[in-house]
Structure 1
Amino acid sequence: MNIIYEDDSILVCYKPAGVATQTKNIGQQDMVSLLNNYLAEKGEKPTIRVVHRLDQPVEGIMVFAKSQEAANKLTKQITDHVFTKKYYAIISRESFPDEGELVDYLVKDNRTNLSKIVRDNDPRAKKAVLKYKVVDQWDDRKLLDIDLFTGRHHQIRIQLACRTAPIIGDVKYGGASTGHSLALCSHHIGFKHPVTGEEMGFDVTPQGEDFKDSRIAG
C-alpha cells in the first residue's frame, strides 16, 4: 500500500492500474477495502469514504476522506471546481496539435458502460472541459499533460478518441493494444485541507510500462 500522506481527516495514496476505486463484486479487492483493512490493522476504525474516482485501468494519485465531514467538504471543492486534477496520457497521433482546449457534451450509456459525444442540446448531455499540452514525444507517440476541469465518465478517454487520438492501450475507445495497462495516469491533485484549510498538492510519477520511454519516467 503506497500511502503518500495521512492524518486524522484524509488519506492520500497511489492507486495501481487494475484496482477498482470501489466495487460491488464479491471477492474483488478495491481501494476502499484495502484502505479500510490498512486502518483496521493500525487499530483505527475503517471509515474510508470515496471523494472522487479513477477508472479501474487508470493509475494515479487519489485522496480519500476518513470522516463524513471531510468527505462533504472535499466533495464541495470538486463541485465548486477548486479541486485540481492533472493527468498524463500517451496518444499515437503525430499530427495532433501541441496544445488546446477540448469542450464536448457527453452521455454515458449505462448498458455498455461507455460514454459518447452528443449535441449540446441533448437533454441528457453533460459538458466536459479539459486543456492539454504536449510535453514529450518519441517515435509516433505524444505525451499530453492534461488539466481536467470536469470529471465526466471516461471523459479524457472519449474526448481524445473522438479526435482520432485514442489513448495507447484503450481498446474500449479504439486505442492500440500494447499488452500493458491503459497509458493514463492521474499525476497531480490539489485541494484545501477539509479541516485546516491549508492548500495541499500531491504528485506521483507514472508506473505504467508505456511511460518508461518518456522524460517523466522515474
Structure 2
Amino acid sequence: MKDTERDDELNQDDELYEHYSFQAGKGQEPLRVDKFLMNFIENATRNKIQQAAKNGNIYVNGIAVKSNHKVKANDEVKVLFEHPPHEYLLTPEEIPLDIVYEDDELLVINKPAGMVVHPGHGNYSGTLINALIYHFNNLPLNSNERPGLVHRIDKDTSGLLVIAKTEHALNHLSRQFFDKSSEREYVALVWGNVTEDEGTVTGHIGRNPKNRLQMMVFPEGDQGKEAVTHYKVLERFGYVTLLSCRLETGRTHQIRVHMKYAGHTLFNDERYGGERILKGTTFTKYKQFVENCFKILPRQALHAKTLGFAHPVTGEFLRFDSEIPEDMQEAIEKWRNYAKHQIDN
C-alpha cells in the first residue's frame, strides 16, 4: 500500500499540533496578534510570527487570522502546525483499556468518549496510543509512526477500533479500510426530523478555509476528498432523529460534517453548532429539557457501534458490536419519553 493511501484513511494530513496557547487578559487593549505573540514566545522574531500567520498557522478563537488581526480581551490565541512541537514525546502510560477481542495479530478496543486516539491538538498524554505502548511491546508503526493504528475516531466519539499487533496485520487491515471492504456502523442522534427512512450523503470533505479546526463539504468536488455516508432512520423523536450511519469512506469528522451538510447537525456537537437548540419550540420548559439533555450527554451524540473486517491471517470475517454508552442511552431515552408525551397530549 502507498503511504498516501494509508494516510488518507487515517486522515493524518488533516492533523494540527498545538505549539503555543495563550489567553488574553481581561484588560487587554486591542493589539496586533504578531506583537501580542512577541510578548509571550521566547526567542521568537516578528518575521517568523508573520510568516506563521501567512501560512495560516495562527488562530484567534479557533479562526485562522492574519498578522495584523487585533487581539482583544479574553481572546484565545493558538499557534498550530502540521508537525509536532519539539517537546512532543510518546511515553507509555498505565491507562486501562477495554479490550473486546485479542489474538496474536490484532486487538479490538472499545474507546470511551473523552479519550484522544493519538497525541496532537495539545493532547500529548492520556491518549490511546500512550496506553497501547504501555500494554504492548513492539507494535508496528504506520506511515506516520503511530504504533498499531489502522484508523481512528474523534476524541468525544465512543466506540470500536481495531489495532494491529504485527506488520502483516497493519498492512492487511489498512488495505481493507482503504478499499472499503471493512464495515463501520455508527449510531448518531441528530437535530431535526429526517423524513427519508434511508439515504446517502455524498460530497467531498476538506478543511474549512475560514476555520481550520472545522471540516466542510465542497459539493463541486473541486477541493477535499470524496466522502460517502449511508444512513438509516432507527427512531424519530420529532425534534431529533436517531440514525444508523454506515461509512463508505473515512474522512475527518465525516458523519458530523455530512449530517450538518444534510441539515441535521449532530446533537450537542459543539464544533459544528449542535450545542445550540436548532429545532423545537420557544417554550421555557422545552429549552430546559434540551439543556438537561446536554448535561447528560456533554459531547456529540455519536458512537462507533459495529466494526467488521477480514482477519489478516485466517481470512475469517469478524464482526464486533458494542453497547451504546450510558450517557447517550440516557439522552435517547429522555427524547423517547418526550416524544411519547407529545403524542399522548
TM-score (norm 1): 0.88
Partner in structure 1 of residue 234 of structure 2: 135
Residue of 19, 38, 50 corresponding to 2:135: 38
- Structure richer in helix, relative to its length: 2
Residue of 291, 310, 313 corresponding to 1:195: 313
Distance apart, 1:126 and its partner CA: 1.1
Partner in structure 2 of residue 17 of structure 1: 113
The share of aligned pairs that are identical, in percent, is: 30
1:7-44 Cα deviation digits (max 9, x unpaired): 111010100111111114575211121122223xxxxx
Distance apart, 1:203 and its partner CA: 0.6
Q: Distance in 1 between matches of 2:194 and 2:170?
A: 42
Q: Distance in 2 between matches of 1:76 and 1:112?
A: 29
What is the RMSD of the two structures over their aligned residues, measured on CA atoms?
1.9
Gaps of 5+ in 1: 40-44
Please give the secondary structure, in 1, of the residue aligned with 2:169.
helix
Partner in structure 1 of residue 272 of structure 2: 173
The answer to whether the Cα contact below 8 Å between 1:188 and 1:204 also exists between their aligned partners in 2 is: yes
Q: Distance in 1 between matches of 2:153 and 2:194?
A: 28
Q: Based on CA coordinates, which of the two structures has the bigger radius of gyration?
A: 2
Please give the secondary structure, in 2, of the residue aligned with 1:18.
coil
The answer to whether the Cα contact below 8 Å between 1:49 and 1:65 also exists between their aligned partners in 2 is: yes
Please give the secondary structure, in 2, of the residue aligned with 1:201.
strand
AA aligned to 2:107 is L
AA aligned to 1:66 is K
1:97-136 Cα deviation digits (max 9, x unpaired): 32111111111248622111113341x3311111111112
The answer to whether the Cα contact below 8 Å between 2:260 and 2:272 also exists between their aligned partners in 1 is: yes
Residue of 197, 200, 207 corresponding to 2:325: 207
Q: Return closer, same or farther for 1:118/1:14 CA change in 2, 3 Å cut-off.
A: same
Aligned residue runs from structure 1 range 31-180, under 5 A: 31-39=128-136, 45-47=137-139, 48-109=147-208, 112-122=212-222, 124-138=223-237, 140-176=239-275, 178-179=294-295, 180=298
The answer to whether the Cα contact below 8 Å between 2:305 and 2:323 also exists between their aligned partners in 1 is: yes
Residue of 301, 314, 329 corresponding to 1:183: 301
TM-score (norm 2): 0.57
Q: Return closer, same or farther for 1:30/1:46 CA change in 2, 3 Å cut-off.
A: farther
Q: Distance in 2 between matches of 1:170 and 1:109?
A: 16
The answer to whether the Cα contact below 8 Å between 1:119 and 1:125 also exists between their aligned partners in 2 is: no
The count of aligned residue pairs is: 209
AA aligned to 1:203 is D
Q: Which structure has the higher relative contact order (CA within 8 Å, separation 6+)?
A: 1
Gaps of 5+ in 2: 1-96, 140-146, 277-293, 334-345
The answer to whether the Cα contact below 8 Å between 1:191 and 1:200 also exists between their aligned partners in 2 is: yes
Q: Distance in 1 between matches of 2:150 and 2:261?
A: 28
AA aligned to 2:103 is D
